[in-house]
Structure 1
Amino acid sequence: MRSHTSDQSGGRPRSTVRRSLQALALLFAMLASTLTWTGAAQAHGTIINPASRAYQCWKTWGSQHTNPAMQQQDPMCWRAFQANPDTMWNWMSALRDGLAGQYQARTPDGQLCSNALSRNDTLNQPGAWKSTTVSRNFTVQLYDQASHGADYFRVYVTKQGFNPTTQRVGWGNLDLITTTGRYAPAQNISFNVSTSGRTGNHVLFVIWKASHMDQTYMWCSDINIV
């Protein structure tokens, strides 16, 4: 019978020790990769009030994403999580590089809420997204962990008669209501908007042009104007 040579610490075969060390090395490599990805994902921001679709899902279900109640209580978030959990976990990094201001030309109708990112396509789906109740004049709040600042924000709202439960958002569904000026780097930025003449359920669409480089973020927030 073939014998195994034991190490000096406790008689374990060297082949077993070697396999254990290889497994540990692989585990550390995976952890390092995860930490690097997480850091990158957290280096950006989103509209937190009225909550963007991905942020609303994370805020409500991030700590209880295995709760089966999500399917009944918040079916749009449940569908998004089933399609790609990254849509919820990576709510800070819905960005595209190098658009050079060509937002409409390079963002097809029906893909605005995902910023034309295929991994987040469920955010474009019409349905019973949870909405934030607002008045006709309200404040939009951005949270930006890395304090990039803004060249500007462009804020749109859907036209009266648009139905977010049955329609994807396209450029023809929107009216531009606000274009802001520049904002210095800060984690929290807010500005006021007016949706005069509109009531009921709408989609607020925000474009954020970050100041540090040509990075563009786009989000949809569901609102109920009262």
Structure 2
Amino acid sequence: MTSTAVARSWTVLGLLAGLALPSPNQALAHGAPTIPVSRSVACVPETGRYLGTPACSAAAAASDPGALYEWDNVRVTDAEGKKRKRIPDGRLCSAGQSKFRGLDLARDDWPVTELIPGADFAFRYATTVQTPGRFELYVTNDDYDSQKPLKWSHLETEPFLTVTDPVPDASAYTFTGQLPMDKVGRHLILTVWRNSDMPDTYYSCSDVHFRADDIAAGRTTPAAGASDDVALASGVRDASDRQGQRGAGWQDEFHGITLVSTVVVGASLLAFLVLACLVRGKQQPR
């Protein structure tokens, strides 16, 4: 084996080693709102509270088989602030991912959370992997029609709430913010979570209804029963915890795969080095 051949072999082996080691940023799913309940959480197979409702059944039928198990993975990678170019009108709730297209269905029977205009509200965002980032919550404007595909132009231009790096508990982020004062009737809240240590941005749609006869003038907390998800919280949290355990298991599996890959590649490199030395030794003049 000539020195040129040895060098080429080292190059090829190096490339294979790079391919063999998975990136720690790959396929790490994160989360979605449970209060107000998002479409992806509401329709989680096996655990979703609204599983079997017409909207969830239609969403499952329109999405790829099994896609809705990934309730925490509705995201765009490397959006770099260009979400309106990356995600076309009519596909905001799926983050433009075809496999989640059922979440974009224009219907007036999606599970809805009752809200009080102007009240302070405790938002909850369940997670399977927690990372620093910024939450931006947008509400639809008066042009919104739940029976028409959601467009960017149907959202208010500025978020009504922005929260950076809230402190999570074991399975979710919880933060309080004031709901819009001037909304009445059926609307939609688009939650955008921009990760700061990974190039991912997550999108979630929560269908809500603002009570016309109950305006929170100066209220600091929602009235009892303001959200039909208060009772739902524990049930969905249990579901998200089970999903979180799956996520934690995936991380353990990832680290195991990484360790095995490292050992295999290291052994291969060592064997190749020994072989190269033997070949070079035989080529030396005696």
Structure 2: distance between partners of 1:106 and 1:157: 20
Give the greater-gyration-radius structure (CA).
Answer: 2
Cα distance per residue 1:86-141 (max 9 Å; x no partner): 33211011112111111122211111011000111111111111101111232322
Unaligned runs of 5+ in 2: 1-25, 212-286
Q: Percent identity?
A: 25
Please say if 1:56 is aligned against 2:42. yes
Please say if 1:157 is aligned against 2:139. yes
User: Which of 209-218 and 154-163 deviates more?
Assistant: 154-163
Helix, strand or coil at the partner of 1:218? strand
Structure 2: distance between partners of 1:143 and 1:130: 18
Per the alignment, residue 125 of structure 2 pairs with: 142
Q: Give the AA of the match of 1:158.
A: T
Structure 2: distance between partners of 1:63 and 1:155: 25
Please say if 1:125 is aligned against 2:105. yes
Query: Per residue, is there more helix in 1 or in 2?
Result: 2
User: Which of 180-189 and 94-103 deviates more?
Assistant: 180-189
Per the alignment, residue 153 of structure 2 pairs with: 172
Structure 2: distance between partners of 1:219 and 1:156: 11
Q: Is the 8 A contact 2:90 2:151 kept in 1?
A: yes
Structure 2: distance between partners of 1:80 and 1:101: 28
Unaligned runs of 5+ in 1: 1-39
Number of residue-to-residue matches in the alignment: 178
Query: Per residue, is there more strand in 1 or in 2?
Result: 1
Per the alignment, residue 15 of structure 2 pairs with: none
Structure 2: distance between partners of 1:182 and 1:41: 23
Q: Is the 8 A contact 1:54 1:87 kept in 2?
A: no
Q: Is the 8 A contact 1:160 1:199 kept in 2?
A: no
Once the two structures are TM-superposed, the CA of residue 56 in structure 1 deviates from its matched residue by 0.7
Q: Is the 8 A contact 1:108 1:116 kept in 2?
A: yes
Structure 2: distance between partners of 1:177 and 1:95: 19
Q: Is the 8 A contact 1:54 1:88 kept in 2?
A: yes
After superposition, the Cα gap between the structure-2 partners of 1:43 and 1:120, relative to the gap in structure 1 and judged at 3 Å, is: closer
Helix, strand or coil at the partner of 2:60? helix
Helix, strand or coil at the partner of 2:101? helix
Please say if 1:188 is aligned against 2:168. no
Q: Is the 8 A contact 2:61 2:102 kept in 1?
A: no
